[in-house]
Structure 1
Amino acid sequence: MPIVVRLDVMLALRKAKSKDLAHYVGITETNLSLMKSGRVKGVRFETLEKICEFLDCQPGDLLTYEPEQGA
């Protein structure tokens, strides 16, 4: 998939725990884990906003586009 989720990178840079982020955003740790692995079909802007607020970052810090080779 050409959209890469860098949520784990931002958590590490901010020295934050997934558990704390999930609680702040109001989602389960399981859903956050699915999001981190890129196995979700979409993310609500409200959720993205809360994640950015907690991590003090921009949406572009969390999502990158990396075209597939040979596509």
Structure 2
Amino acid sequence: MPIAVKLGVMMAERNVKSKDLAAYIGITEANLSLLKQGKVKGVRFETLEKICEFLDCEPGDILRIDRRGSSEQTD
């Protein structure tokens, strides 16, 4: 089962700009965009921790198992 990335949804709910989150994490906006789209093969726990810290959320709020079997982004 693929992992669905809900980072874009969480950012929208928190009214967070990609530029601000990318700067806080220490990655480029381009890499953050790839992460939001679910087009990365993995994410470091340190990066995930910083995302959750900035958004005041839990990893399960932004990463879900897609039980439908689709690897398409659902933002």
Residue 2 (structure 2) aligns with? 2
Matched residue, 1:23: 23
Query: Relative contact order, CA 8 A, sep 6+: which one is greater?
Result: 2
* Runs (4+) off by over 6 Å: none
State the structure with more CA Rg. Answer: 1
How many equivalent pairs are there?
Answer: 69
Q: Quick one: which amino acid aligns to residue 29 of structure 2?
A: E
CA RMSD of aligned residues (A): 1.3
**Residue ranges of structure 2 left out of the alignment (5+ in a row):** 71-75
> Percent identity at matched positions?
70
User: What 5-or-longer segments of structure 1 have no aligned partner?
Assistant: none
Q: Following the alignment from structure 1 to structure 2, what is the Cα–Cα distance between the partners of residues 40 and 24?
A: 19
Normalised to the residue count of structure 2, the TM-score between the two structures is 0.88
